[in-house]
């Protein structure tokens, strides 16, 4: 989906899933994936990826993410990436927990995505190590 069509997409596809904008304010804070069809979720992800791709520079991406996510959300995302990197480097759960102060469920979830996901973590870590 082209980025210029996202307003039409939001108005004609996403909005009917939630009702009015007033209702949308209440619902968006309590996300329920069953209320948004899978196809629509994928289209939203495509829009988000297109936005990130078009931002181009590290500074503009950083500013966007700082506006989009609160501090806790940013830390959670970075921590997951660090967990993945440590797992790929052969660190144990205990070492990861001690260094990153995260629980075993977070580590296990990231490890599951590393082995059964779409290789996104591995590609991101590989891209980071290229520098």
Domain residues for the domain of 61 are 3-65
Please report the DSSP string for 78-92 in residue order: HHHHHHHHHHHTT--
Q: 13: which DSSP letter?
A: I
Mean pLDDT by 10 residues, the chain (131 residues): 56 54 53 78 91 93 95 95 96 97 96 95 92 68
The whole-model pTM stands at: 0.71
User: Is the same domain home to 105 and 118?
Assistant: yes
User: Is the same domain home to 87 and 119?
Assistant: yes
For residue 10, what are the contacts with CB-CB under 8 A and spacing of at least 6?
none
Alpha-carbon distance 12 to 92, whole Å? Answer: 48
User: Is the same domain home to 60 and 23?
Assistant: yes
Tokens of residue 57, six digits: 């520079």
Do residues 44 and 14 touch, judged by C-beta distance below 8 A? Answer: yes
User: Is the same domain home to 81 and 121?
Assistant: yes
């Amino acid at each position: 989906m082209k980025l210029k069509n996202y307003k039409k997409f939001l108005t004609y596809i996403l909005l009917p899933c939630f009702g009015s904008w007033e209702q949308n304010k209440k619902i968006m804070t309590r996300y329920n994936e069953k209320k948004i069809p899978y196809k629509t979720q994928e289209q939203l992800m495509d829009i988000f990826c297109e936005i990130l791709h078009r931002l181009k520079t590290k500074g503009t991406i950083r500013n966007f993410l700082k506006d989009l996510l609160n501090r806790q959300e940013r830390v959670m995302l970075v921590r997951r990436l660090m967990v993945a990197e440590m797992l790929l480097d052969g660190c144990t759960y205990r070492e990861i927990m001690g260094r990153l102060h995260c629980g075993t469920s977070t580590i296990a979830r990231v490890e599951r995505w590393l082995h059964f996901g779409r290789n996104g973590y591995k590609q991101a870590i590989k891209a980071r190590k290229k520098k």
